[in-house]
Amino acid sequence: MPLTMYSYPKCGTCRKAKKWMEENQLEFEEIHIVDSPPSKEELKSLHEKSGLNVKKFFNTSGKKYRELGLKDKVKSASDEELFDLLASDGMLIKRPIVTDGSKVTVGFKEEEYEETWLK
């Protein structure tokens, strides 16, 4: 099954991940995370499969995150509220998110990609 990669073309980390996937000849469909952000249900599914804390899905270094003052809100919000926030704006989501339908990676760490997508 080809991979699905939610990314943002201007994001340096996304470009690195895309280059790595191309170099390793992995087949993937790229989805623009701002133009076509994952829905709340998709985010819940990705979160469940990732095994990560929902807070790890936030792009904490993003301008939008800082503008909305989410640092404190995220600490006290319920998971439902966090999913609503993430689904409201693709710029709030940490990227890239890569999935094959059963495994999920968030962000780009070469070792993690090798472990997850080459084995």
> Is 106:56 a contact under the CB 8 Å cutoff?
yes
Domains, the chain, in order of start with CATH, read 3-117 (3.40.30.10)
pTM over 0.85: yes
- Does pLDDT of 108 surpass 90? yes
DSSP string for 41-79: HHHHHHHHHHTS-GGGGB-TTSHHHHHTTHHHHHHH--H
pLDDT score recorded for residue 31: 98
pLDDT tens-digit profile of 45-104?
999 999 999 999 999 999 999 999 999 999 999 999 999 999 999 999 999 999 999 999
